[in-house]
Every structure is written in structure tokens, then in C-alpha cells.
Amino acid sequence: MSDDTKAGSGRSWRRLPIVTWLPRYERGWLRGDAAAGAVVAALAVPQALGYASIAGAPVQVGLYSVPVALVVYAVFGSSRQLVVGPVSTVSVLSGSLLAGFGVAGTAQAASYTAALALGAGVVLVVAGFLGIGWMAEFLSKPIVTGFVLGLTILVILGEVPHLLGVPTPQGQVVERLGALGSSLTHGDGDPATMVVSAVALVLLFGGQRVVPRFPWALLVLVLGLVASSALDLAARGVEVVGTVPRGLPTPGIPSVASEDLWRLLAAGAALALVGLAEGLSAARLFAGQGDYRIDADQELVASGAANIACGLCGGIGVAGSLSKTAAADDARGRTQLTGVTAAALALLVIVAIAPVLSDLPRAVLSAIVVNAVWKLMDWGALPRYAQVRRNDVMAALIAATGVLVFGPLNGLLLAVAASVVGLVYRSSRVDVEVMGKVPHEKAAWGSIRDHAERPTYPWVLVLRVDAPMFWVTAAPIQDAVLSRVEAVPGTRVVVLDLEATNQMDVTSVDALSHLLRALHQRGIDLYLVRVMWPVRQALRSSGLMDQVGEDHLWHSISQGVREARRVHGLAELPAGPGVHGVELEAAEGAEEHIAARTPEPEPDPPPSSRRRT
């Protein structure tokens, strides 16, 4: 098969990565993948029950999502190791959105939860095919850290009443904290529930410190079921999960009110954004460790397909799970057969033993949830963000505070909005530096700030713009260049380095035109150097190239300066005050002598050739 045929075949199967990796699967990997699949199933089944309760839906809804998401992602995912399924962040947001529809805890909760997953899936698949995976980059690491921190606090706060055996308070965070404090003060907690919670939490947190890789959540779940049956905890006032039906539901479109369809789609978009942030972060982390690459757009398609399948099968929204992927990696899982194995085991639980889960104490489920999300609170990242860049820690705190005060969705949007405003503000802060020739280096130029040894030519001002020129920075760059010119009286030529600009819009083209006119009014000529091809095209299509002149664009600073000095007869002019013109001439002559003996891969063309790039 020719290389072109192979490349074409690879492109044709891009949307079905399993067709590429499965034929190359090695038999020796099977043992590790099977063991890792068992570990993933042991984590996913009890967590799915807890995440469904977080989402305000019946616990079986969480179970339905586990095998479906794992199998679908194995077919469409570009990551070898990512484990997809119910996760805390998506479940919390799903529960928050469900409350907005007024159906949380009702008979319609399962249908609306599935509809949210379906809406998220549609948005992700469309985004993947449109190739807009880059939008996920607006969710920076500090924003995700703060968002997860706020969500985790909300999750724990929501589980505390079940751990104590007190009614679940409503209202804002402060109101709920006050209600919980009042309940404890008046001794409203249930002693039996507190004992169950304490034992479960000690086993989960203590056991993981002793034997980190052991599936403690599964052990606690089994012990909770045994204790509930043996001690008849339900009769002692301990809340239990309730009826868990056996088997999978019949696939179909969720039944929801027609007037809620557009709201569900918008809510699904929010769910997709949150799940994408966690899933892509996990996929990229393990791809970097495994020295392979993922396709961001295909990840959108794969995650979307998994959510659509879960929605059609009556499940909750899913995303890539960092914790379960790490557990699979620790257990030597190498491919998506890990997920397929875990799906088979989860399916066995749903079909054979799901009704047994009905007697599980709700306090045990809450303890499993608290343990699962506790490690997501990365407090240690905040001092590091503050040390590296103050704005990063501010973004994290805005996200966390926004989630706690305004809710998960509004908190996330607030953090993203603050991040975009910060990005625009930083983009508008430009610096135009005066450049000098770097001694003893051919054609090398650098800022003379803190480098007085770098000489400059008399009457020639070389400037470099340190930011792209676009509609935000256009006016500041124009003003900064004119300010630099006014600070150096006698300037006859400005050589402007535009390497940082890779495209231009109407605003920046007009600003450059105004700059050219202002310089000409001062009797100053303008040369542009290191101009990218898209910028040249914009100059030509706008007509500005005719004003600047094709002979005023050059490949390098040295070329532009040499041509400007030749055209304006500045080669023999003496150096001005504080300018090392004589030394610069001598240094350049020595460099040209060295260059004559040393071949260059891309030599600068002589000025007489008028060669452009």
C-alpha cells in the first residue's frame, strides 16, 4: 500500500478510531486491560449510584450510563486510556439544572436527566464536526481548579444532611450552613445514621491511606448492604436507597414537555462545556504521559456520542473521569478494552444483582460520594497560581466563589467572562521596543532596554511590536510608535518589525495607514520587516501596499535597515550623540567577512536584487 493510500485510509477512519487500533492489538495486553477493567467497574458502580443521587435522579439512572458510555467511547474515542462515565462535576451541574426545571426528586426527574444528557451530546457532536474544539481552551487550568473546588464544596454540603440524618435544607450556601448548624445545635441528627456514616468514612479515608489501590468504595458498599440486612437499619430510622430495578430500560427519546426543549438544549450546552473541561484535561494528561496524541475535535464527537447513547438509554450525562482513568493506568490498562471489560462487568451488575442495592443505606452512598470528590479539592494549587501569576489565582477564586454564590452554571460563565476580559485587557497592553544590533552575531537584533552595548544606526529607528496588531491593539501600537519617534529627534527612517502579527483586520489596516501618513508628514519613511504572508495579503487587498510600497517590505531587520540606509544616503553619515555608528560599521564589516566564508542556508538577498519573501 502506498503512503498516499495509507494516509487516505487513515483520514477515512478518523471518526472511528477503533478501526485503527483494534487490528494492532497485542495479546499480551489483554491481562492488564482485563485487570484494569475490573478495577474501573469496582469504582464506577458505587460512584454511579452516588452521582445519580447528586443529579437528583433515581440511582439506577447512574448505573445505566456506565456500560453505555464505556462502550461508545471505546468505539469513537481518540484516547487509548480515558475512562468515560458519570462524574461529579457533570452530575452536580445536572442536578442544579434539573432543579431549575422544578422536577428534581419527582417522577419526571429520570426523563429530564436523560434529556440533559441527550442535549449535551448533540451540542458536543455538532461542535466536533464543526471543528471548534479550540473553544475549550477558554477554560484555563485555574478556572477549572476553582470551578471544581466550588462544586466539591457544594457536593459535600449537599451530602452532609444524609450523613447526619437531618432534613436537607434549601436556599443559598449561607442559609444551608445556618440550617445545618441549627439542626446540630438542637440535636436533630439520627444516632444510627451517624454511626453508619462514621464507619463508612473511616474505612474509605483510612483504608485509602493504608492500601491506596484497594477498591474501598466497593468494600464499603458490600459491608453497608450486609449491615443493613443483618441489623434491619431501615427499621431503626436509617434512610436507604430504595427500589433499584433489574435490567436496562428500553432505549427511546426521553419524554419531556415540548415547551422545555430549547431550555434543555441550552442547559445541555452548559453540561457539555463542563464535561469537556474535565474530559479533555484528563485525556491530555495521560496522552502526554503515554507519548501519544489525541484529536480534540474527535474527543468532542466521542464524548457527544457517549452522552447521546446515555440519554437514549435513560442515563445521566457523562464525561472523561480523571480519577478512574488514573486507577486504570495504575492497574496497567493500555487500551480501550479496559473500558469494554468494565462495561461487561457493570452490565452483569445491572442485569443480575441490581435489586440487592435497594437496601443500601443512603449514608453509605453519601460517604462514597464525599470520598470520591474530596480529592478533587486542589487547595495546594492556589499558592502556586499566586506565585506564578496573580491573575491566575484570581480566576480560580472567582470561579469558586461564583459557583458557591450564583450556582455552578452562572459561576462557570462568570469565570470564563472574567478570563476573556482579562485576555482582552492583556492584549491591549502593548510595548514597542527600540532595537539595536547584537554585537558579534550576524543579523541579530534585540531590545536596547538594559542592553546599552547594543549599537543603533544614526537617523534609523528600529522598532519591534511585542503583540499582534489587531482591532484591540491597533490604536495603542500606533500611539506607541509615534511616541518612540518623538523621543528620538532627527529620525528619518522607521523600520517596524511586525513578526508578532500573523493577520490583519480592517481596524489594524486603517491604523497602519494613519501611522504611515503621520510619519510622512514628519518627513519620515517607513519600512516593514518580517511581515507574514497573510499580512501581506491584507495589505494588498486593502490597497495599503500601494502606499507603503513593495520595495519597503523586507525579509529581515538587517535587510530593511541596509536598504533604508542605501536609499536615504545614510551609509556614510557620522554617528549621532550616544550612537555607536562607527563601531557598528566595523562590526558589520567583520560579520560580512565571516559570512563570506560561511555558507548560509537562506542568505539575505543583496539590496539591488529587490528580492522579497
pLDDT at 281: 73
pLDDT at 136: 64
pLDDT at 10: 46
3-state per-residue secondary structure call for 231-270: HCHHHHCCCECCCCCCCCCCCCCCCCCHHHHHHHHHHHHH
Q: Is residue 554 classed as helix, strand or coil in its secondary structure?
A: strand
Determine the Cα–Cα distance for residues 175 and 181; give it in Å rounded to an integer: 10
DSSP per position, 11-65: HHTTT-THHHHGGG--GGGHHHHHHHHHHHHHHHHHHHHHHHHHTTS-HHHHHHH
Q: List, in order, residues 6 or more apart from 440 with CB less than 8 Å away.
A: 587, 591
pTM given for the model: 0.66
Give the class (CATH, top level) of 432-609.
alpha beta
* Residue 268 in grid coordinates: 445541555
Q: What is the pLDDT of residues 78-111, one digit of tens each?
A: 898 899 999 877 887 888 888 778 776 677 888 9
pLDDT at 545: 92
**In the structure, what pLDDT confidence band is assigned to residue 579 with cuts at 50, 70 and 90?**
very low
Q: Is residue 141 classed as helix, strand or coil in its secondary structure?
A: helix
Q: List, in order, residues 6 or more apart from 48 with CB less than 8 Å away.
A: 59, 62, 63, 65, 66, 85, 86, 346
Q: Which of 108, 97, 94, 111 is nearest to 51 (CA)?
A: 94
Answer yes or no: are the C-beta atoms of 502 and 469 closer than 8 Å: no
DSSP state of 361: B
Determine the Cα–Cα distance for residues 41 and 482; give it in Å rounded to an integer: 66
DSSP state of 350: I
More confident residue, 59 or 308: 308
- The strand pair at 525-529 and 493-497 is best described as parallel
pLDDT over threshold 90, residue 182: no
pLDDT over threshold 60, residue 575: no
Mean of per-residue pLDDT scores for the chain: 82
The amino acid at residue 229 is S
- CB environment 252-271: b (16+ within 10 A), e (fewer): eebebeeeeeeebbebbbbb
DSSP state of 135: G
Which span out of 83-97, 353-367, 546-560, 564-578 was modeled with the highest average pLDDT?
546-560
Q: What is the pLDDT of residues 228-279, one digit of tens each?
A: 989 888 888 888 877 788 887 888 899 888 888 888 888 888 888 878 877 8
Determine the Cα–Cα distance for residues 472 and 469; give it in Å rounded to an integer: 8
Q: Where are the domains of the chain?
A: 27-138+187-378, 432-609
